[in-house]
Amino acid sequence: DTTDVHVRERNVGFVFQHYALFRHMTVFENVAFGLRVKPRGERPSDAQIKQKVTDLLKLVQLDWLADRYPSQLSGGQRQRIALARALAVEPKVLLLDEPFGALDAKVRKELRRWLRRLHDELHVTSIFVTHDQEEALEVADRVVVINQGRIEQSGSPQQVWDQPASPFVYGFLGDVNLFHGRAHEGLVHLDGMQIDSPEHQTAQNAKAFAYVRPHDLDVQRYSPGAGLDAEGRPRGIVAQLSRAIVVGPIARLELIPSDDHKPADNASPDHLIEAQIPAQQFKEMGFKEGETLVVTPRRARVFLDHAAGI
């Protein structure tokens, strides 16, 4: 517990979102700053400082910029220098506060790969604060999802993605479709469909929310009887294809559900359903905007009302 320990003595390296480099200092002097301000008894010699800074600049692959000033660097280069400066004092913990937030998407992607490799090499405990879900899942060994100061879930990236502990986590990590309905004795009646929910066998007409990822929706062309199971129960939602966006290997579909296929006890307004299918499948199926389709969840996560609210 470092609550009562002076900030200077906590040995925490800090990397800000906006770099906070000293404009009047060269790259070399910025990295050396933390070493030069150490108490006299702990301060390395000039030769040791020079060697340490040189090694760090090589580590972040910017040793050729040692004599430049921050204004002469790109955003990605400034952030690497800020990281080298934080590492110079050999911190026990490295705190990165949205370090890539001010950079464009391509640079962010390159830097997070580089940071992951650097972390594996240095083995320093790092706390990485970010609002970018993809960034967190790609960089971290362990993800902690916080909502209004309260921890919603902690686990490996795969755990929090595959097994969200709450509606907030499910909605926060990636795109999701939300369906409203009722759960009764293991069967959930949603917007125009029914799905099995064995974990809610004891539910008695309880208000329920089902979360479905766009890529977990099966999309087929509508025909009479489509969306019904062998017993005639609705398993899918009849909807009109409002818009189709093909980006690379993925086709993103925006669908508007039909009023005729919504249960009477569901007072929720119409909402857009987002589905993702392979672009090749979209091409082969020949779907057209305005066409009536049937979407069926392959996988859904159901929460009862007392656990809802994102």
For 41-50, how does the pLDDT look when each residue is reduced to its tens digit (9 = 90+)?
A: 888 999 999 9
- With H, G, I as helix, E, B as strand and everything else as coil, classify residue 224: coil
Q: Which residues have a Cβ under 8 Å from the Cβ of 144 and sit 6 or more positions away?
A: 151, 153, 154
Mean per-residue pLDDT, 52-75: 91
| Residue 33: predicted pLDDT | 92
| Cβ–Cβ < 8 Å for 96, 18 | no
Say what the alpha-carbon torsion angle 116, 120, 123, 128 is, to the nearest 10 degrees: 10
Q: Domain residue spans in the chain?
A: 7-141, 175-307
| Residue 259: predicted pLDDT | 67
Distances (CA, A) of 68 to 76, 134, 158, 182: 14, 33, 42, 64
Asked whether this chain's domains 7-141 and 175-307 adopt the same fold, the reply is: no
Given a cut of 60, is residue 125 above it in pLDDT? yes
Q: Of 54-63, 95-104, 299-308, where does mean pLDDT reach its minimum? A: 299-308
> What are the contacts of 162-169 at 24+ separation with CB within 8 A?
164/211, 164/301, 166/303, 166/307, 167/209, 167/211, 167/303, 167/307, 167/308, 167/309, 167/310, 168/309, 168/310, 169/145
Given a cut of 80, is residue 265 above it in pLDDT? no
Exposure class string for 282-306: b at 16+ Cβ within 10 A, else e:
beeeebeeeeebbbbbeebbbbbee
| Residue 160: predicted pLDDT | 93
Q: With pLDDT > 90 as the criterion, what percentage of the chain qualifies? A: 36
Domain 175-307 sits in CATH at 2.40.50.100
Give the architecture (CATH level 2) of 7-141: 3-Layer(aba) Sandwich (3.40)
Per residue in 150-194, pLDDT (tens digit) is: 999 999 999 999 889 998 998 888 889 988 888 877 778 876 678
Mean per-residue pLDDT, 92-101: 85
Per residue in 10-22, pLDDT (tens digit) is: 888 888 777 678 8
Biggest CA–CA distance in the chain, Å, is 84
More confident residue, 104 or 268: 104
- With H, G, I as helix, E, B as strand and everything else as coil, classify residue 192: coil
More confident residue, 185 or 219: 219
Given a cut of 50, is residue 309 above it in pLDDT? no
Q: Of 65-74, 136-145, 186-195, 260-269, where does mean pLDDT reach its minimum? A: 260-269
Mean model confidence pLDDT for the chain: 84
